[in-house]
A and B are shown apart, each in its own frame.
Chain A
């Protein structure tokens, strides 16, 4: 435990003084800001038009609550084009679209961000052999886990800053976004992104343990992220055997196949469940992320323990 703590502290200190983490934080904030800005402005235009249409309808004697209900229905329909999960759609209805869009894009960005942050945590020490100064002092497993914990800590700090930024900017676009809802969603988004980030950080540790050259670790890591995304999408293109078709898209484009089970072979598939209102779905998604993370770290440990340094 003392070993882990010492490595964690040392690696955090190194991360704090290295320019890379600051550059990545700036990139992360820039990306988040750009997404929020672009989506926020687009949503503002749409909202203004909707408000204008609502005002005109009310002026013509329409019932304002019926008109608002109609607007909510349109939002529900829009969200339903992305998923058949009605409970999920219901849960995110009160979440401003700008925040939902930023979250969705971040779920794509976080794996890449994590890869850029930690691709050389082990390979960067194995190549120049500086890891030899560590292995005579501590167990290899402590090196792996200590470095991973430091990566996760740095990531969580950055995600906390990013989440606060997202929620704050959303508030600027949506004055009706209440403080209570803001706090609730900030906590949910942070936890979801955090769990997601932990699984991807474990994957990055694996690829950093597999290769001696940091560049190779990074490239293969990114390829793996894309491959896992493909596997998840491939599974999503099919219905499970015996599953009924929902809507026109299912009927026309999604056939029944055992290939639908492929989605479970990818950690990508479980990302949406992290915001699910049903605690069983949420717990399942969280466990899936932790489970995949454990598999990645376990494989990294086996690799590192067996490898010549």
Chain B
């Protein structure tokens, strides 16, 4: 495996007697979209803030593209950040503000970069508007624009769609999809459906500790199980369990049929088709099929 873009090594952060993050380690591979998940107080914003250099770890180390994130100026030109609750300086016109930040980043054409970034978040009309006059959603997108300026290799986004209306949130998700592959992305969010859609891998935190860090497929079990929502009838569990590659078939609450399989013996698509055919033969009605367990269910089970 190649050198990770971000390496979090045994990081602990204490605020006085309170341990906000406790001995957390995980790697983010270059080009991946990585999710940070956890309930309130899990330590994900603290971890995120340490990656950005806002906070220094009490112990441990965070490397971003080989640089120690807590070293002064180490992240310049390497990282773009959308902080969660950082207020835009209200008296600056948006265009001048972005141009100013671009010049601080050492961009050669800060004004052109600022205009490009605003167009990317579909807000070119805010160029001359004072930042204090922007709505919450617009301010969030302007903050997103500043994170994209200069096309940094690593982009860290804290709650990128929180507080946005559904249409704008969808546009932001689409933008994140566009960024995937070209940049290493870390997204911290409470919106698990969104993270499940966007992320290649994720770290689940709870009470400051790392509960699990793995690829999204591993966490949701997409490579090893699928579920069928039944509407009417009893599924032939024994027959399903005998299908090639199937390791277990069981009925979960709410009429959900869970099928576990060995992906080395059978393709998921093949087994799904066989199971659905078998159910149809037995007159069992179904309403939905999905691979793995929903991320939300996994997280609820783990935290």
Check if A136 sits within 8 Å of B106, measured CB to CB.
Answer: no
Q: Mark A131-161, 1 if CB is under 8 A from B, else 0.
A: 1111111111110000000000000000000
Judge whether B85 is part of the interface by a CB distance below 8 angstroms.
yes
Indicate the member of A10, A131, A305 with the most B CB atoms within 10 Å. Answer: A10
Judge whether A48 is part of the interface by a CB distance below 8 angstroms.
no
A299 to B54 CA separation, bound complex (whole angstroms): 20
A145 to B114 CA separation, bound complex (whole angstroms): 25
Judge whether A178 is part of the interface by a CB distance below 8 angstroms.
no
Q: Mark A1-41, 1 if CB is under 8 A from B, else 0.
A: 01100110010011001100000000000000000000000
Check if B146 sits within 8 Å of A6, measured CB to CB.
Answer: no
Judge whether A129 is part of the interface by a CB distance below 8 angstroms.
yes
Chain A residues near B56: list those with CB within 8 A: 306, 308
A130 to B142 CA separation, bound complex (whole angstroms): 13
Residue of A nearest to B152 (CB): A136
Chain A residues near B143: list those with CB within 8 A: 133
Count of chain A to chain B residue pairs whose CB atoms are closer than 8 Å in the complex: 73
Total number of B residues with any Cβ neighbor in A under 8 Å: 31
Check if B86 sits within 8 Å of A129, measured CB to CB.
Answer: yes
Cβ distance A22 to chain B, nearest Cβ, rounded Å: 13
A7 to B92 CA separation, bound complex (whole angstroms): 14
Judge whether B87 is part of the interface by a CB distance below 8 angstroms.
yes
Residue of B nearest to A17 (CB): B91
Check if B55 sits within 8 Å of A137, measured CB to CB.
Answer: no
Judge whether A128 is part of the interface by a CB distance below 8 angstroms.
yes
Cβ distance A134 to chain B, nearest Cβ, rounded Å: 7
A130 in contact with B86 given A137-B76, A137-B101, A140-B72 (CB within 8 Å): yes
Chain B residues near A138: list those with CB within 8 A: 73, 76, 104
Contact of A132 among B72, B73, B83, B91 (CB under 8 A): B83
Cβ distance A121 to chain B, nearest Cβ, rounded Å: 12
Judge whether A309 is part of the interface by a CB distance below 8 angstroms.
yes
Chain A residues near B91: list those with CB within 8 A: 14, 17-18
Check if A2 sits within 8 Å of B87, measured CB to CB.
Answer: no
Chain B residues near A125: list those with CB within 8 A: 89
Chain A residues near B85: list those with CB within 8 A: 129
**Can you pick out 25 interface pairs between chain A and chain B where the beta carbons lie within 8 Å of each other?**
A6-B100, A6-B103, A7-B104, A10-B100, A10-B104, A13-B96, A128-B86, A128-B87, A129-B83, A129-B87, A132-B52, A132-B83, A133-B81, A133-B88, A134-B101, A135-B52, A136-B52, A136-B53, A136-B80, A137-B105, A138-B73, A138-B104, A306-B56, A308-B15, A309-B55
| Chain A residues within 8 Å of B, Cβ to Cβ | 2-3, 6-7, 10, 13-14, 17-18, 125, 128-142, 305-306, 308-309
19 extra interchain contacts, Cβ-Cβ under 8 A, other than A132-B81, A136-B76, A309-B55?
A6-B104, A129-B85, A130-B87, A130-B88, A130-B89, A132-B54, A133-B81, A133-B83, A133-B88, A133-B101, A133-B146, A136-B75, A136-B80, A137-B101, A138-B73, A139-B72, A305-B72, A306-B56, A308-B56
Closest 7 CB pairs of A and B: A128-B87, A129-B86, A139-B72, A139-B73, A137-B104, A132-B86, A132-B83
| Chain B residues within 8 Å of A, Cβ to Cβ | 15, 49, 52-56, 72-73, 75-76, 79-81, 83, 85-89, 91-92, 96, 100-101, 103-106, 143, 146
